[in-house]
Amino acid sequence: MNNDLRRYRQQEALRLMLSETHLHPSHFIYPLFIEEGKSIKKPVPSMPGIFRYSLDMIHEEIEELLAMNIRTVLLFGIPRNKDEEGSNTWSDDGIVQQSLRYLKKHYPELFLITDVCFCEYTTHGHCGIIHEGHLHHEKTLENLRRQAISHASHGADMLAPSGMIDGMVAAIREALNNSGFRHLPIMSYAVKYASSFYGPFREAANSMPQFGNRKSYQMNPANKREALLEAWADVSQGADILMVKPALPYLDVIHLLREKTALPIAAYQVSGEYAMIKAAAQQQWIDEKQAMIESLLSIKRAGADIIITYFAKDIVKILQDENI
Ligand code: PBG
Ligand 1 close to Cβ of residue 270 (< 6 A): yes
List, for residues 6-29, the tens digit of each pLDDT value. 899 889 899 989 999 999 999 999
**Which member of 38, 41, 42, 192 is catalytic?**
192
* pLDDT, tens digit (0-9, with 9 covering 90-100), for 183-222: 999 999 999 999 999 999 988 887 777 777 777 778 999 9
Per-residue confidence (pLDDT) for residue 18, from 0 to 100: 93
38 is catalytic: no
Q: What is the pLDDT of residue 216?
A: 75
The radius of gyration computed from the CA coordinates of the chain, to the nearest angstrom, equals: 20
Q: Which pLDDT score is estimated for 37?
A: 96
Mutation test residue for ligand 1: of 140, 143, 187, 201, the one with most atoms within 8 Å of CB = 201
Q: Is residue 245 annotated as part of the catalytic site, yes or no?
A: yes
CA 200 to ligand 1: nearest atom:
14
Q: What stretches in the chain show pLDDT beneath 70? A: none
pLDDT confidence of residue 212? 76
Q: Is 18 exposed, middle or buried (0-12, 13-18, 19+ CB in 10 A)?
A: exposed
Q: Prior bond to 246 cis, omega within 30?
A: yes
Q: Is 33 in the pocket of ligand 1 (CB under 6 A)?
A: no
Give nearest CA residue, ligand 1 atom 11. Answer: 198
Ligand 1 center to 270 CA (angstroms): 8
pLDDT score for 224: 97
Distance between Cα 262 and ligand 1 center (Å): 25
Mind giving me the DSSP string for 253-302?
HHHHHHHH--S-EEEEE-HHHHHHHHHHHHTTSS-HHHHHHHHHHHHHHH
Closest CA to ligand 1's atom 6: 162
Q: Are 278 and 47 in contact (CB under 8 A)?
A: yes
Residue 167 to residue 182: CA distance in whole angstroms: 18
